Amino acid sequence: MPPWQHKINYLMGQPIGISLINGQGTSGVLCGVSNGKLLVVEYLYQTQYAMKQYDFSLIADISGFPPCNQQRLF
């Protein structure tokens, strides 16, 4: 089991960043796990959101969003 999988329960319902093995990334709210996939709600446009599924084999790491500390963000 990859180390990032141990973070799932702690991050459930929270905004997360997902690093994919192809070097890309995405973010959204972690809503669940089903059949070896992360279920993530992502913002699309205006009031539109989509539930997306990311296969465990495509994920390099996940991390929770940092707190809003302006000194860290600038």
| Per-residue confidence (pLDDT) for residue 69, from 0 to 100 | 75
Structural domain of 49: 3-65
Residue 70 lies in a domain: no
Does the pLDDT value for residue 46 go beyond 60? yes
Residues of the chain with pLDDT > 90, as a percent, come to 85
| Per-residue confidence (pLDDT) for residue 70, from 0 to 100 | 65
Does the pLDDT value for residue 73 go beyond 60? no
Residue 22 lies in a domain: yes
Residue 41 lies in a domain: yes
CATH of the domain at 29: 2.30.30.100
Helices (H) and strands (E) in the chain, counts: 2, 5
Distance (Å, rounded) from C-alpha 74 to C-alpha 57?
Answer: 33
| Per-residue confidence (pLDDT) for residue 43, from 0 to 100 | 96
Residue 71 lies in a domain: no
